[in-house]
Structure 1
Amino acid sequence: MEKFKFDETLQLKILTKSQVESMHEKALYVLENLGIIFAYEEALDLLEQAGCDVDRETQKVKFPRELVEKCITSAPSTFDLYDREGNFYCTFGDGKTRFNPGSSASNVLESDGDTVRLSNVKDLKLLTKVAQSLPHIDFVSSSIVCEEAPGELGSQYLYYTEMQNSIKPIIGGATDAAGVPRTFKLLTAVLGSEENVRKKPYTIFDICVTSPLKWSHIGARNIIDCARMDIPINLISAQIAGATGPITLAGCILNHTVEILAGLVLAQVTKPGHPVSYGGAPCIFNMKTMYTPMEAMECSMITAAYSQMGHYYGLPVHTYAAMSDAKIVDYQAGSETARSGLMAMMAGCSNVSGPGGLNVIAEMSIEKLVIDNDYIGTLKHLEKGIRFDETTLAADLLLEVGSGGNFMTQKHTLKNYKKEHNYSNITMNYQERAAWAKEGKPTIMDKARAYVEDIDKQTICPLSEDQRKALDAAFIEVCADAGLSEDVAKDLIKKYDEA
């Protein structure tokens, strides 16, 4: 994608060209005249050296226009991702929309579809196996916060679990300042060398700004560490309209633009050309219920608008969608998942986090993840568009079959039905009623539950013995670095093995 240009592809566009340009100008105005806080000394040093106006007492940084636009230009429009085995996986930002499960859920909805409890390592292990098995879930993610993991360990126990149960790239992150170098040790153990970690990126690090207009010491250090260790970054603004961001949607989009551009500048002055994704997790504050939904229509509208800004800057775009604020897998869950997922894809998002997520992504349902996979399959079928050539137009076939004819017996049908129609379905019901009744009238949750139970019995893409030994050793080292004893580390490894 070109920089400071309008994407002319067929996409959902909620802002006009003049509104995009105005949003950019207003963002530069705010960055230059108000600035944004960076609560990390090294970030202040780097930004000051790059030409920013830094107030050490308030930790506020003001950005000259020329520097912001220079950094936008230096950030790449695409970057390559690799799998756990070092094989090329995809080009991120290539125009396709990819999906991964929701992130950081503290609770899980059990398979009965009603019981909610704290999440544990067994849940993450199973969810990662299921995500690996599903054809339309492209990445795995730190989707569950395991209650066994000590607070000092940050997200490293999550990476430890995910890398053992999937070869797909990981959408992860850290909850602690030292999270990046610690995760780098785990990645090195599995990938075999630091060079492999740097040259064949296997994870994208989500890093969240503290809205409004502040990068914490954790976020700022994570940005710097990722840039220095060649780990691609997904910058996320998770403002809440009416609480941590303006109540107006346009104001939220402006706040989002300012926050993400400030983080992008820090990444680029640390290492010019470092890959950065333009991400977000928009919420609104419902003044009636005092709740903060992520899947209200307004959230999708904000996503569509900031996607246009990301495309204007020539960057890959990320959002949270294809999930629901519902508490069970019901009509609300289905309608919100479908609407937000479709709008995110039509807005040209490169990556959508959220499938399986419920209740402002505080909860994960593994069964819903399976159901969402089926819906995402229909989105990807739509994304392919309509094949248009002499074969698919079938003009000669129409002449051959003629009025009142039948196409079921034609070779043309046999050759093309799998190319034209989507058959990658696990849970949806496309039978006539009698056939469905004969099978016992299974519900969509029944089918999802059966699929998960089958995957639970399987061993899926385990690490080699040498990789596992190296990972265990690195994990013990990471725990020690976090101030945890070797006994604690070994107990966590044991809990993983027993899960």
Structure 2
Amino acid sequence: MEPLKFLSDNDVKAMHEATLHIMSEVGLIWTHQPSLDILLGAGCTMKGNRVCMPPDLVMDCVAKANKRPKIRGRNGSVNELGGGNLYFHNLGGARDVFDAKTGTRRIATDQDVIDATRVLDALPNCHTVTPFFTPQDVPGELMSLFMYRHSLPYTTKPLQGPGIQFAEEVKYAVEMAQVVGTPPEELTLSLSPVSPLTIHDPAAAAIVEMAKAGVICSNLPAPTGGATSPMTITGSLVQQSAETLALVVLAQIVNPGCGVVYCGRLGMLEPRTGLIWGGVELGLSSAGTVQLGHYYGFSVNVYGFSTNAHTLDAQNAFERGLNATIPALAGADELSGIGEMEAGVMGSYAQMVLDNELVGSVMRLRSGLSADVEHLAVDIIGNVMDGTRNYLGQKHTLKHLRAGELALTKLAERNSWETWEGKLERKQMADYAAEEAERILRDHQVPPLEPQQEKELDRIMAAAEKEMVKKR
């Protein structure tokens, strides 16, 4: 079905023009001298401590970027972004684990990185895996690399690289990817600039190294509307776009044609608490990001399953349902957030399983309706009325059940009150999801890496520790 427009074409053009004005006249705080030298050599200018990028340079760099990158799993599956498909992946970087059975939370460990990857590998509607938890039992300098190292052996799906902070991490992430046969141009790495409009030195240095290596740049600006960006959604989207495109400009100057995914993680301020608001505005922000990113021709990755909820409750369900459906209908190429809770601070194995079901319904919604001869079924209606007056025995019924006319769920309650009331245990979706997550962790086996590959990953991590961990 055609994407829904939440902004008119004129609105999107006005936002594009505002973005170029900010980049060329307002500028971005930028103090990293080596990357500044690259930008100034390409025609940028300085206004105090802010770099200003001329519109022609910005658009030239946008035109050079590879906007349809491919991410490949070691099972051979390929996700080609920007080709019209919608892919879902999980939240990356949750600190806490929510236990659905006890209703409690705990700090994530390195084992949770492994277990989450195994669960996500088993869920058919999670198309790409991202290292999920930020383990607190590893050296902080190596956290992102530990996340990636302990995800690689436990999924055969396309695996996104970790969110990084420092240039040194790029080298080791690329080396680890090559151990499983992933070339740099099929590895995504992401980092976040500082809002408003600040490219801190580590981010600038890391972008240079990412571009040199040829990896896919999935930069993640994460402004908060009303706090670090304007309270208006479109104003925040313009600032977010300037923060995104500034890093695209640097990457394309360093390595023209390297891959780019246009990302946005705009959240609106909850004025009563100071936290990020997970209401319907988040879905609208994602939809606006999709339209603006598509204006430039990029594939676009935005929030999908996002909620402020702390448990698997009604708030959780309606917030994540809205925030996934709105950008999906807007034509997003990739949606994040499988397993996410508490605005990204927490994740849950049961939530991962629930979201796998919700993805199926979102994908069914996005496919729309057909009114061709086969679907109108005039002949079938006539045949039934001339015969049994029953559609259950028709081949047409079975054919379209198998073809996905219904998004059948495994976890939802579909029985009558009497049947449900008569059960020994009156379970709900969250109960079934928690049990399914336990079953996956008990039974699901992932084809292991070769012993020499494991040794090579350990060698790379040891080298990273020697270089990056501060001696105390």
Q: Report the TM-score when normalising by structure 1.
A: 0.89
Structure-2 separation of matches of 1:88 and 1:129: 17
Q: Counterpart in 1 of 2:27?
A: 35
1:284 aligns with 2:274: no
Q: Counterpart in 2 of 1:374?
A: 357
Contact 2:217 2:260 in 1 (8 A): yes
Structure-2 separation of matches of 1:207 and 1:15: 28
Structure-2 separation of matches of 1:121 and 1:433: 43
Structure-2 separation of matches of 1:150 and 1:411: 60
Q: Counterpart in 2 of 1:67?
A: 57
SS at match of 1:235: coil
Contact 2:70 2:80 in 1 (8 A): yes
Distance 1:269 1:380, change over 3 A: same
Q: Counterpart in 2 of 1:5?
A: none
Match of 2:129 among 119, 127, 140: 140
In the TM superposition, residue 387 of structure 1 has moved relative to its aligned partner by 4.4
Structure 1, residues 195-250: CA drift from partner, whole Å, max 9, x if none? Answer: x5235x1x321221110001112222222222211211112221011111112222
Contact 1:113 1:329 in 2 (8 A): no
Q: Counterpart in 1 of 2:457?
A: 471
- In structure 1, runs of 5+ residues without a counterpart are 1-8, 489-499
Query: Which letter does structure 1 place at the counterpart of 2:447?
Result: C
Query: Which letter does structure 1 place at the counterpart of 2:441?
Result: D
Distance 1:297 1:111, change over 3 A: closer
1:267 aligns with 2:220: no
Contact 2:95 2:135 in 1 (8 A): yes
Q: Counterpart in 2 of 1:207?
A: 191
Structure-1 separation of matches of 2:141 and 2:288: 37
SS at match of 2:275: coil
What percent identity do the matched residue pairs reach?
26
Q: Report the TM-score when normalising by structure 2.
A: 0.94
Distance 1:424 1:173, change over 3 A: farther
Q: Counterpart in 2 of 1:20?
A: 12
SS at match of 1:318: strand
SS at match of 1:100: strand
Contact 2:100 2:312 in 1 (8 A): no
Query: Which letter does structure 2 place at the counterpart of 1:79?
Result: P
Match of 1:156 among 145, 163, 179: 145
SS at match of 1:337: helix
SS at match of 2:364: helix
Distance 1:258 1:26, change over 3 A: same
Q: Counterpart in 1 of 2:230?
A: 246
Please identify, of 471-480 and 153-162, the stretch whose mean Cα deviation from structure 2 is larger: 471-480
Structure-1 separation of matches of 2:404 and 2:341: 33
Structure-2 separation of matches of 1:226 and 1:430: 49
1:104 aligns with 2:93: yes
1:48 aligns with 2:40: yes
Query: Which letter does structure 2 place at the counterpart of 1:63?
Result: M
Q: Counterpart in 1 of 2:378?
A: 395
Structure 1, residues 148-167: CA drift from partner, whole Å, max 9, x if none? Answer: 12112140000011101101
Query: Which letter does structure 2 place at the counterpart of 1:477?
Result: A
Q: Counterpart in 2 of 1:81?
A: 71
Structure-2 separation of matches of 1:183 and 1:242: 35
Aligned residues: 468
Distance 1:42 1:113, change over 3 A: farther
Contact 1:44 1:54 in 2 (8 A): no
After TM superposition, what 4+ stretches of structure 1 lie above 4 angstroms from structure 2? none
Structure-2 separation of matches of 1:373 and 1:88: 19
Please identify, of 336-345 and 105-114, the stretch whose mean Cα deviation from structure 2 is larger: 105-114
SS at match of 1:279: strand
Please identify, of 299-308 and 133-142, the stretch whose mean Cα deviation from structure 2 is larger: 299-308
